[in-house]
Amino acid sequence: MNHQDIPPKPPLPPRTGSLPTVRHGASGSAPAPESVTWSQPRHDPEPERRPNRRPAYWKAFLVAVILAVAGSLAWLAVWLNSAPGTDTAKSATPGVLQTAVTPPATPLPLPREEVAPAAYAVGDCFKDFDPQALASTVVPCDTGHSAQLVATLHYPESTKYPGADPLKAKALEVCQAAKLSTAATQFQLNYQRSFPSNTSWESGDRRVDCYVTADGGNVINASVLP
C-alpha cells in the first residue's frame, strides 16, 4: 500500500456525521478523494439574556409608597396639633375633673343658707341661684330649685392664670363631660359655666364649674345626676 495515497488525518475527530466510505477492491485501496468535508454540529448563538429588572422596580415602588405614607402621617400629626380650636390649656394642665357626687356633699341638714362658692360640691342643688352671688342657699334636690352643680374641674395650685378665653373653653369642656340622668329630660334646662377671674385666681380660686339651670325659677324638683 502506498502510504502517500492515504488521506491525511483531520486535526480533530468528527463530532457527528460519518466518515467517507473507502471501498477495498482487488487491487487494494481506492484512491483518496480529492477533498473530505467533515460534518460539524451547528452551534447557534444563545439569545442574549436581558437582566430581569422587575424585582428592582417593585422594590423602588414599595419604598416610594412607604415614604409617601410616612410623610402623610407626619403631616397629619402636625395638622392636628396646629388645627384651630386646639385647647392649649387642656394639654398643659388638665386639672382634676369631677362629674359624679362624692359624699359628703354640702353638710346636712338642708336647706343651708349662706354657703360660699368654694364650698359648693358636685350634686348640690340651689334655690334662687345667682352665679355672681357671694353665697347661695343649698336645698334638697327633691324640693324646688333653679340650679344644680353637675361637674367641676380643679386646677393645680401651682398653675399660672391661663386667661379668660382658655378658662371659658375649659368650662365648656367641663359641661360637655357632665353625665346627666333621664330626669334631665323632664325640665327645660340650660348649661351655665363659671370660672375664675384674674382677681379670684390670685385669691386661690382654681375651680371651673358647670351648672344646669332653669329659666323659670325654682321649677326643678329632682336631681339630674345619675
Per-10-residue mean pLDDT, the chain, length 226: 48 49 44 40 55 61 68 46 38 73 73 93 95 93 96 95 95 95 94 95 95 95 95
Distance, CA of 102 to CA of 52 (rounded, Å): 73
pLDDT in tens, 34-74: 433 334 445 555 555 555 555 566 667 776 767 666 655 55
Residue 105 is predicted with a pLDDT of 60
Residue 190 is predicted with a pLDDT of 96
The reply to whether 169 falls in a domain is yes
Which three three-digit cell numbers place residue 28? 487494494
The reply to whether 67 falls in a domain is no
Distance, CA of 16 to CA of 7 (rounded, Å): 19
The reply to whether 11 falls in a domain is no
Q: Taking the CA of residue 52 as centre, how many other CA atoms within 13 Å lie in the half-sphere pointing to its CB?
A: 4
The reply to whether 38 falls in a domain is no
For residue 203, the enclosing domain spans 96-213
Amino acid at 162: P
The reply to whether 10 falls in a domain is no
Distance, CA of 183 to CA of 225 (rounded, Å): 8
The reply to whether 21 falls in a domain is no
- For residue 112, give the H/E element and its range: strand 112-115
The reply to whether 19 falls in a domain is no
Residue 62 is predicted with a pLDDT of 72
Pick from 85, 205, 203, 218: which is nearest to 152 by CA? 205
Q: Are 137 and 158 in contact (CB under 8 A)?
A: no
Q: Are 156 and 206 in contact (CB under 8 A)?
A: yes
Q: Which residues contact 167 (CB under 8 A, 6 or more apart)?
A: 89, 195, 196, 208
The reply to whether 182 falls in a domain is yes
**How many distinct structural domains can be found in the chain?**
1
Residue 23 is predicted with a pLDDT of 47
Residue 92 is predicted with a pLDDT of 47
Residue 53 is predicted with a pLDDT of 55
Residue 77 is predicted with a pLDDT of 46
What is this structure's pTM?
Answer: 0.58
